[in-house]
Amino acid sequence: MTERTLILVKPDGVQRGLSGEILRRIEAKGYTLVAVELRQATPELLEQHYEEHVGKPFYEPLVEFMLSGPTLAIVAQGERVIEGFRSLAGVTDPTTAAPGTIRGDLGRQWPTKVLQNLVHGSDSEESAAREIGIWFPGLA
Ligand code: DAT
Ligand code: MG
């Protein structure tokens, strides 16, 4: 089934110059880029985006990290792209993410405790629709 997902190259990825490498992996897999835009997140936008995590112990450090520089916001389209991109990204913690995945090959957990795991990908059709609406209201 053709679907759309929201992907973010987080500030660690942009700062480390990995935007191109991550876009390359998305395109090499055959997904279509629908929107790509460099954006500076705001606390309000992140509170919506990470609504399920508000109040968790890692929420404040996560927001601080996400405000530390620009984020590359991407909408990609393709056959089962929601699950497919999560698979390309690897598991949340880069220290255990499998080799061959974005987080496994390139992610770091140091020098801070915050998981610098380079990318976000929507985790369900419902999240994808919600998150695309937050980052790209014109596309929803
Ligand atoms: P994912 O990004 O794999 O969907 P998530 O939605 O559970 O993971 O969490 C969102 C982000 O919050 C994640 O990319 C990194 C951070 N995070 C999650 N769990 C964490 C934890 N236990 N400690 C520190 N940061 C965490
Ligand atoms: Mg998530």
Is residue 109 within 6 Å of ligand 1 at its C-beta? Answer: no
pLDDT greater than 80 at residue 113: no
Is residue 92 within 6 Å of ligand 1 at its C-beta? Answer: yes
Is residue 103 within 6 Å of ligand 1 at its C-beta? Answer: no
How large is the ipTM? 0.96
Residue ranges making up the domain that contains 120: 2-139
The count of structural domains within the chain is: 1
Residue-wise pLDDT for 38-68, tens only, equals 999 999 999 999 999 999 999 999 999 999 9
Q: Which residues are annotated as a binding site for ATP?
A: 10, 58, 86, 92, 103, 117
Per-residue confidence at 3, pLDDT binned at 50, 70, 90?
Answer: very high
Query: In the predicted model, what is the mean pLDDT of the chain?
Result: 95
What CATH number has the domain bearing residue 89? 3.30.70.141
Q: Under a CB-based contact definition with an 8 Å cutoff, are residues 46 and 67 in contact? A: yes
pLDDT greater than 70 at residue 115: yes
pLDDT greater than 90 at residue 110: no
Q: Is the peptide bond before 137 cis (omega within 30 degrees of 0)?
A: no
- pLDDT score recorded for residue 108: 83
pLDDT greater than 70 at residue 81: yes
* pTM across the whole model: 0.96
